[in-house]
Structure 1
Amino acid sequence: FAAHGSPELGKMVIRRSDGTTLYQTKELALAKVKLRDHNVDRSLHVVGSEQSLYFRQVFKILELWGFEAAAKCRHISYELVQLAGGKMSSREGTVVPYHGFVAEAEAKALALAREHGISAAPEAVAHRVALAAIKYAFLRVDTNKTIIFAWDQALSFDGNAGPYLQYAYARSNKLLADFAQDVPRLESLDYSPEPAEAHLCRTLADFPDCAAQALSEHAPNLVANYLYDLARAFTDFYQVCPVLKAAGEVCFFRQSLVAAFNSVLSSGALLMGMELPQEM
């Protein structure tokens, strides 16, 4: 690397003196096949940050070999996960197996579902809440920061958590179901929106730019935190702006806002792989 102007990359052994290969030998061979034979749009390597130097070396070798498509390769690094009580350690018995982790999440979510009076298929709802709690807790954190996982935060129905988004979505579904007719199309409206309505409108309008930025920067946390801001804006709107009891075109306008929120939240959750229960 030093001979090609990148001394900071140190050295990488591709083949041992006895002719045997290493992990990076196979990595480079696979990369050649992908870039040469499959015309990939992008090649993303989602691997922990401790491998950052390794991937910089691999990508540089591909570049030196003349693969222009090496520019399509990117290492999406992430930091580690810690429990609220401290680091995981196999020696101390604090490593959490995935299946046990999900089972505990489902048990806690089921208890919360019953506590909140969720009667619609509580076991099915608990499963979706558990997975949303886990996914959102991981995805809302910048990949350059360590994730501190805590059950009470991840399973919150009124904080920056997956269940909070699910609850807001279910509430919007209930409102839409209570209307006697479909959402009307308003060509014009002689009405000055309340501050909470205007804020919700502005937040809804931010979604396309947020999604585009998240894609460009490979940063799902941007979508996660946008959805939390959107759910808060909807909750504020719901608390101060009566929907079903509003009169005439104001009622239709607010119904349209609820429908727009429902649609955008659903689209954002889809990007994050989160299921939203129809009712809770």
Structure 2
Amino acid sequence: MQTILEVLESRLHAALTTAGIEVPEGFPVKVVAAADLRHGDYQANTAMALAKRLKMNPRELAAKLVEAFEAEDVADLDIAGPGFINFTIKPEAWSRKAGELVGDARLGVSEVADPKTIVVDFSAPNVAKPMHVGHIRSTIIGDSLTRISRFLGHKVITDNHIGDWGTQFGMVIYGWKNLLDEPALEADPLQELLRIYRAVNALCKEDEAIKDLCRDELVKLQGGDTENFAIWQRCVEVSKVGLNKIYDRLDVNFDHWLGESYYNNELAPLVKALADEGLARESDGALCIFSGETLPPKQDPFKEKRDGEWSDLPMIVRKKDGGFNYATTDIATVDYRLDQWQADKIWYVVDARQGLHFRQLFDVAERRGCSAELEHVSFGTILGKDGKPLKTRDGDLPQLADVLDDAIKASRAVLDEKSNDLSEVEKEELAKVVGIGSVKFTELSHNRASDYIFDLEKMVALQGDTAPYLQYSSVRVSSIFRKLEEEVELDAEGVKVTEEGEINLVRTLSKFGEVLPTVLDDLKPNILSAYLLDLAKAFHSFFEACPVLKSEGDVRKTRLVLCAVTGRILKQGLGLLGIQVPERM
């Protein structure tokens, strides 16, 4: 199904041809939704941009386009300012669009014409440690981008690239052998592993001999010692059990869990290949990759300014002691994703503070002939109400499980106050849906590049730009249909919008197919979040101005069609954000 925006763009292209105006190759002929409805429903600045290229008067060019434009379904074509073309859509066209949407399983969203294989690398916690609040952004953003990409028709492969190999395992293995509480491990594996890690870390600070013993345990692990390898395997297994408890609560799934350890056997051959390719060379006993010297120093990730001079900032791929690091592993991971999955795109949903690492990684991949488009989907920091990074009273990052528990408790308090007709069991289940939905929507309603303040009271409120507001809007639609005394055939027959509230609602409904694909332009789910809020507001305005159940005939059917499509888009849109919609609130 073509969107109205696509129809207008197509006709604008045709008008250029009819008017005999030659468009430079690659020139974008774009129509956008009008920012101010007083000037129409859509607008185009094509005449202004093209006139500059063709050295013409923009208003004269706009007049030629308006004259040549096929104006079916357009009530008014208006030229504004220096050459904006404004389009006002006829009510008949909106009526037809409402009828199309009610019969469309995809609600006006077309699948992409050229689907890609996209690998999404997100969440990626460390083994033997519980997830903390810092994992919220990667996990939730990555999951929503996965859902949206799949809905648009892309083949998506998700990979939880967990940190399951590293220096911390020396301390974990020492603690396992000397401090482990098996019953506690069975009850809550991540908390017990965290406890022994912290205990050993404290011992290392007090006693250098303990630190040496931990280092010995790590060397034994890396050397393939049977006992230590078995302990490491058990750590990974029980950690996955603990991590999956969180993922189950969040309704997040992965196709693969290929952690750092998966690539161990590939690292030595990779480093040899990097040296043979001339990309890596020895420096102070380490093997490093230096600048390709093709970029200006300011843009070169392998350069930094020290004391007013540009100096080398190499990527180490083999340390002085012969060990490898996560940079080496990440290069091997790119190779694997290209060779095994034939990835067209690889998205790394990782904290903005890792920006330099990814700039270097992508530069190396490009120099090695990487065919995929690599993107660092970076994000900012979650702040407390004091405007500082969110921490516990002890100065630690809050654990993700605790954050979810607190959100559910806050939701339950609101439900106890507002939902007296629900049973205790219903309130308990609803609090989970609303609480976790609130955490997700708060994350996804912000531009991912921005920091945001974590405020539970605002997050779970039924009013404002929140998940509960959207969930309640969906429930309100459902309640309309529960009150119907008879079954109504919801199809395009007889659908006719005339009232401003009806027109505004169908105008907003029709934009779902226009807005959703743009989420992937900059990989920003907040675009979808903002649309859903606009839709809920349009529905509530419609509901107040246009009685549904008290109306009759085709008017009643039309309004029920608008309600039905609203409910379906709210549910679909929230689902693409990973947020569930309850039947009652």
- Match of 1:74, SS? strand
**Alignment match, 1:235:** 540
Report the Cα distance in structure 2 between the residues aligned to 1:192 and 1:59, rounded to whole angstroms: 52
Q: Which moved more, 1:14-23 or 1:84-93?
A: 84-93
**Is residue 401 of structure 2 the alignment partner of residue 96 of structure 1?**
no
Of 513, 518, 525 in structure 2, the residue corresponding to residue 208 of structure 1 is 513
**Is residue 22 of structure 2 the alignment partner of residue 22 of structure 1?**
no
**Alignment match, 1:265:** 570
**Alignment match, 2:369:** 66
Which sections of structure 2, spanning at least 5 residues, go unmatched?
1-290, 303-313
Deviation for aligned residue 1:41: 3.5
Residue 152 to residue 183, structure 1, CA distance change in 2 (3 Å): farther
Residue 52 to residue 85, structure 1, CA distance change in 2 (3 Å): same
Q: CA RMSD in A?
A: 1.7
Report the Cα distance in structure 1 between the residues aligned to 2:343 and 2:498, rounded to whole angstroms: 48
TM-score (norm 2): 0.46
Report the Cα distance in structure 2 between the residues aligned to 1:111 and 1:278, rounded to whole angstroms: 19
Structure-to-structure mapping, 1:56-135, within 5 angstroms: 56-69=359-372, 72-87=373-388, 88-89=390-391, 92-93=394-395, 95-120=397-422, 121-135=426-440
TM-score (norm 1): 0.93
**Alignment match, 1:187:** 493
Of 354, 358, 361 in structure 2, the residue corresponding to residue 51 of structure 1 is 354
Query: Is the Cα–Cα contact under 8 Å of residues 243 and 255 in structure 1 kept in the other structure?
Result: yes
Percent of pairs with identical residues? 29
Q: Which moved more, 1:116-125 or 1:153-162?
A: 116-125
Residue 58 to residue 265, structure 1, CA distance change in 2 (3 Å): same
Of 440, 455, 459 in structure 2, the residue corresponding to residue 150 of structure 1 is 455
Report the Cα distance in structure 1 between the residues aligned to 2:489 and 2:547, rounded to whole angstroms: 16
Deviation for aligned residue 1:149: 1.4
Residue 235 to residue 61, structure 1, CA distance change in 2 (3 Å): same
**Alignment match, 2:295:** 5
**Is residue 332 of structure 2 the alignment partner of residue 42 of structure 1?**
no
- One-letter amino acid of the counterpart of residue 4, structure 1: T
Query: Is the Cα–Cα contact under 8 Å of residues 506 and 562 in structure 2 kept in the other structure?
Result: yes
Report the Cα distance in structure 1 between the residues aligned to 2:537 and 2:530, rounded to whole angstroms: 11
Which sections of structure 1, spanning at least 5 residues, go unmatched?
none
- One-letter amino acid of the counterpart of residue 415, structure 2: A
Runs of 4+ in 1 over 4 A off after TM superposition: none
Whichever of the two has the greater Rg, that structure is: 2
Residue 117 to residue 129, structure 1, CA distance change in 2 (3 Å): same
Report the Cα distance in structure 2 between the residues aligned to 1:57 and 1:6, rounded to whole angstroms: 14
Deviation for aligned residue 1:90: 5.8
Report the Cα distance in structure 1 between the residues aligned to 2:341 and 2:296, rounded to whole angstroms: 29
Residue 45 to residue 6, structure 1, CA distance change in 2 (3 Å): farther
- Match of 1:3, SS? coil
Report the Cα distance in structure 1 between the residues aligned to 2:454 and 2:515, rounded to whole angstroms: 25
Deviation for aligned residue 1:186: 3.4
Count of paired positions: 277
